[in-house]
A and B are shown apart, each in its own frame.
Chain A
Amino acid sequence: MAIRSTFTVPKRFQTISLALMAFGLLSIIGLWVTSGSSDDPKEQARFWASLLQNSVFFLLVVNASMFFICITTLAWGGWQMAFRRVPEAISAVVPVIGVICGAILLAIVFGDNHTIYHWTDAEHVQHDPILSHKKGFLNKPFFAIATIITIAGWSLLGYKMRQLSRKLDNEPLATLEDRKKYIFNNTVWAALFIVLFSLTVMSSIPWLWLMSIDAHWYSTMYSWYTFASTFVSGIALITLFVVFLKNNDYLEYVNNEHLHDLGKFMFAFSVFWTYLWFSQFMLIWYANIPEETIYFQPRAHGIYKGIFWLMFIINFIAPLLILMTRDAKRNYGTVALMAVLIIFGHWLDFYQMVFPAVSPNKVPNIIYDLGIALGFVGLIMFATAKALTKAPLLARNHPFVKESLIHHT
């Protein structure tokens, strides 16, 4: 079959993504019936916590694509140009999941149920000296404004970056000066995104959305840790789409070399994630201060220890051993399998970040959460595929694209 330059969504792919979305919706309904509609606030919270965990995780993962684009732009990378349109398409899903995620977060914060975010309970905060101390940061208006600005900011700057890329499709840059100017223009916008990214994902947003679930607990590493988790998953997601498109005879110029580099990224950032995981865990374990160890008690030793150690194995041991060799990183099957595993592993990571505080006495039935996760996967498949159809699969007039063709590791 000839290589095609514009993407048309295969029928089967479309069906599967729709089926997954339907399945996700069913899971939400199922969980609503069993938990969400219950009178017990703890049960209700279990429903909302599942939505929170899934939407935040997948939002951060798709947003990692834009981070990848911006950081390679700033580093003047050329190798990724052969598949640059893939992260672009994935990042186009940010506004979609962003709206869903924002709605869920605001619903939780402004709702009557305070099990997830204790600090929303004015009555309780009054009698809790620690929470009333934190009122300056943990309060509803600030949460709402920060959430809305953040999601809007990611979407808008991401849109701008994609526009810059698309603009070239119809109007090639005639002179060297134009190309230099274009690259400069790109770096300016990419830098803006990175600044926003560091003020949100690398610092404040994980504190607000996730760490405040354990409202008394704190860790300075938390946001960087969250970032590492979602960045490695984001790379895995990009890899999956690249492999999918390659298998369907798209992406003419992508070859083993590019796959190898994506594999290296997955390997390296899995190790990086482990480094942050270990640093946070070991320091808290070593100092042994009750205010801090309370976080790891249910996770590493309590009822969540199965999930905790399983995700550690999936996220560290598996990539370390399997992706170490050169041949493995150049094998489409192995890399795709590892990408799926890594996304699942970090989804589990988010699971153990959210649920021990919400449901301290029993591990919820994870089947529902997995079902909802599949719904989000379907949504990402559907929306990314749609975004992919809107532009040629090769940013053919980008000044660095030719470097990507002859790229070898």
Chain B
Amino acid sequence: MSLLRYESQVRAPLVDGTKDYHQVTEDICRPVEAKPSRLWWTGFLISLGLLLFGIVSVTTEVIYGTGQWNLNRTIGWGWDITNFVWWVGIGHAGTLISAILLLFRQGWRTGVNRAAEAMTIFAVMCAGQFPVWHMGRVWNAFFVFPYPNSRGPLWVNFNSPLLWDVFAISTYFTVSLLFWYSGLIPDLATLRDRAKLKWRKAFYGAASFGWTGSTKHWQRHESLSLVLAGLSTPLVLSVHTIVSFDFATSVVPGWHTTIFPPYFVAGAIFSGFAMVQTLLVITRKVLALEDYITIEHIDVMNKVIVLTGSIVGIAYLTELFMAWYSAVDYEWFAFKENRLNLNSPYGWSYWLMMGCNVLSPQIFWFRKMRRNLFVTFFMSILVNIGMWFERFVIIVTSVYRDYLPSAWSTYYTPTIWEVGFYMGTFGLFFTCYFLFSKFFPVIAIAEIKHILKKNGENYKAKMTKEEEDTVTQFGEHHLHEH
């Protein structure tokens, strides 16, 4: 086996500047060890305020019941399910980055995976709120689990997609958490060994599980990461697939279509990457981590966005085409009258979705745009809005005018408590993210060190000889050295 750490100089470095292992540790630990900045406090307090608003809204709902949400319509769930699916979708990029890109050996994942995985976990936490609090009698929430009960025992309905959701989301949350934390352990050990304050020693000592960096432990750790990645990859796909089953197993026009599973997954990755961009564009600036989350990383993630956006676009057009091709009147009505028709009550949302998700990401075909931070940030917000409206389109336009005209009703406006609930999940998400970025290393230190000598700028610069070698020379030097 060749020990040479070479990659072509055509590829941009993934770690900028002159770095050695110690410098990497210093750079990434600095924000954790420094006092929180005023900016951090401001953001944290705003998030906390939002969270508080959410808590108040949910409390009102628990006390007075779901009537607070004024849900007496056929599409009463419109707002909450949209929020639920939107958050779950965002919770996909993290595990995708860490798992699938690990399997595909994409080196750039190391700069962004830790933060993205954290984001995944927080987004899934937010998503989980919606079905749980919507139960009304939330103290009975445990009914969703199959346990021996006094009702017969009457088991839960394993044939129901909503139950699949329970299993999918809880499994996804658990596995993502394990994957994330097992990757964190070595880095927490680094913080522990650097800690000077007493509480830091105690906190990181407890959190790092007594990690030593023994070779045997690393060997097992590598095996664990690889298998968890292998398990997480189909798991990521399964979660949004199952969310799509919630709709697609029904016979509602616009919902029952076989392309839903892969298309939901592509959409989830799409919105997840957009949220990663939103967070990282800010994080790298505020925490001064531009050397590790480089423009190259932003560029590559924008490529993923244009790719998944286009996949989603093909799926939209496929659906639209099939609605016509199927010659099913109801299906075609849902598309033609409820969606395409700009004069219909919600036609605008369909075109907004098309504009944000399919058309606007096409500017990322251009390298200049992909590497522009303002464009990236703006687009990431636009994509998230678009993906929110995708779920809105699917849910609302399909059911507000379905088979029975007597059940037709237009969408209602969410009450202040529903808005508060949604804002509250933002509060939860950002509160968690602020705490994470303060107390945990936002970049995987050990993984950066692992790729440093291959992808670091100063190491790559020394590879000129290898770069200029012909294949034959290169092969002679590096393949037969043992």
Contact = CB atoms under 8 A, between A and B. Distances in A.
Direct contact of A and B (CB under 8 A): yes
B467 A78 contact: no
Interface string A282-299: 111011010100000000
A287 B10 contact: no
B10 A400 contact: yes
Interface stretch (A60-68, A175-183, A380-388): A175-183
Given A221-B261, A405-B474, 12 more contacts: A176-B9, A198-B311, A203-B317, A218-B325, A219-B322, A275-B234, A279-B241, A279-B260, A280-B258, A396-B470, A399-B10, A400-B8
A365 B11 CA distance: 55
Given A176-B467, A286-B249, A406 B241 contact: no
Interface residues of B, number: 53
4 smallest A-B Cβ distances: which pairs? A220-B259, A221-B258, A279-B261, A133-B327
B318 A203 contact: yes
A42 B281 CA distance: 64
What is the predominant secondary structure among interface residues of chain A facing chain B? helix
A405 B249 CA distance: 48
Interface string B304-316: 0000001100110
Contacts of A176: 9-10, 467
Interface size class of A (residues with CB under 8 A): 35 or more
A78 B327 contact: no
A224 B8 contact: no
Nearest to B234: A271
Interface string A238-276: 000000000000001100000000001000100100011
B322 A396 contact: no
A291 B258 contact: no
B250 interface: yes
A291 B328 contact: yes
- Which of B6, B104, B261, B474 is the most central at the interface, judged by chain A CB atoms within 10 Å of its CB? B261
B27 interface: no
Contact of A198 (B9, B103, B310): B310
A276 B2 CA distance: 40
B471 A401 contact: yes
Interface of A: 74-76, 78-79, 129-130, 133-134, 137, 172, 176, 179-180, 183, 191, 198, 202-203, 207, 218-224, 252-253, 264, 268, 271, 275-276, 279-280, 282-284, 286-287, 289, 291, 394, 396-397, 399-403, 405-406, 408-409
Contacts of B303: 74
13 contacts: A75-B106, A78-B7, A180-B10, A203-B318, A220-B259, A220-B318, A220-B322, A221-B259, A275-B237, A279-B261, A283-B258, A289-B256, A405-B475
Given A283-B260, A400-B8, A406 B470 contact: no
B351 to A, nearest CB: 21
Interface string B401-439: 000000000000000000000000000000000000000
Nearest to A409: B105
A284 B258 contact: yes
B326 interface: yes
A180 B261 CA distance: 38
B7 A224 contact: no
A215 to B, nearest CB: 10
A218 B326 contact: yes
B131 to A, nearest CB: 21
Nearest to A221: B258
A304 to B, nearest CB: 20
A134 B325 contact: yes
Contacts of B193: none
Interface string B441-467: 000000000000000000000000011
B261 to A, nearest CB: 4
B375 interface: no
A409 B328 CA distance: 50
A220 B469 CA distance: 50
A279 B466 contact: no
Nearest to B317: A203
B4 interface: yes
Given A176-B467, A402-B469, A405-B475, A78 B319 contact: no
B318 A287 contact: no
B87 interface: no
A166 to B, nearest CB: 16
B112 to A, nearest CB: 17
Contacts of A219: 258, 322
Given A203-B318, A218-B325, A402-B474, A224 B262 contact: yes
Contact of A130 (B2, B256, B327, B474): B327
Contacts of A74: 303
